[in-house]
Structures are given as structure tokens and as C-alpha cells.
Structure 1
Amino acid sequence: MIWNFARKIVLTAILVPLGAAGARKLSDSIERRRGANRVSRLLRQGADTAQTLFGRKKRSRFGFR
């Protein structure tokens, strides 16, 4: 029972933010190569959603906040 709880904590605390960061990096590399397209936009939106759902504030793209 405790192992299931610990696994959930590890997933939400470590793997989800890493996945969001990876999706954001992949989106940036796709945009550098091919320009903005549907895939890069969906990757960025997915990363933003994951950060919002798991308690991270969404960063302003231009750093004003």
C-alpha cells in the first residue's frame, strides 16, 4: 500500500516535470528546424498544461512576470 503511494508521488514530483521539460525542448528544436507548426504547438501546449496541473506556474514567454 505504501509502495503504491510512493510510486504516485515519484511520478508526479519527478517524471511529469521532466516530461514537460523534454516536450518543451523538443518543441523548440522542431521550431528551429522547420518553423512553427501544429506538432510544435501541441508539444508546447502539453508542457504548459502539465506544469499548470502539477502546481508549477506558467512562465511568461517574454519574462515580464
Structure 2
Amino acid sequence: MVVRWALTAVAVPLAVAGTRKVSDLIEARRGSTRSSRMLRRGAGLAQRLTGRKRRRRLGW
């Protein structure tokens, strides 16, 4: 039970942040591509599934 809690509380948000960072890196180098959009969508989906609010890019 504790392992499952630790996985959802720590590992999933870290994976989401890493995925979003990789997507930003790809977009910075090559522009928006299908893979970068899919990575961003996957990160957004994982955030919604874990119950965390989605961060807005521009802050408005």
C-alpha cells in the first residue's frame, strides 16, 4: 500500500515533468512536431489522471 502511494505521489509527477521537459526541448530545437504534441498530450492526460491541476503555459 505504501509503495503504491509513493509511486503515485512521487514517481508519476516526476515522469510527467520529465515528459513535458523533453517535449519543450524537442519543440525548441525542431518546432512543433507530432511527437512533441503527443508527449505534451500524454503529460496533460497523466496530470489529469493523478488529480493535479494543469499548468498554464502563459499564465493567463
TM class, shorter-length = over 0.9
Partner letter of residue 43 of structure 2? Answer: A
Q: Say which one has the larger Rg.
A: 1
1:47 shift after superposition: 0.7
Q: TM-score normalized by structure 1?
A: 0.86
Q: CA RMSD in A?
A: 0.8
How much identity, in percent, do the aligned residues show? 55
Distance 1:32 1:60 in 2: 18
Gaps of 5+ in 2: none
How many residues are paired up? Answer: 60
List structure 1 segments (4+ residues) > 3 angstroms apart after TM superposition.
none
Distance 2:3 2:16 in 1: 18
Q: Which of 34, 41, 52 in structure 2 is aligned with 1:45?
A: 41
Distance 1:6 1:63 in 2: 35
Distance 1:9 1:44 in 2: 25
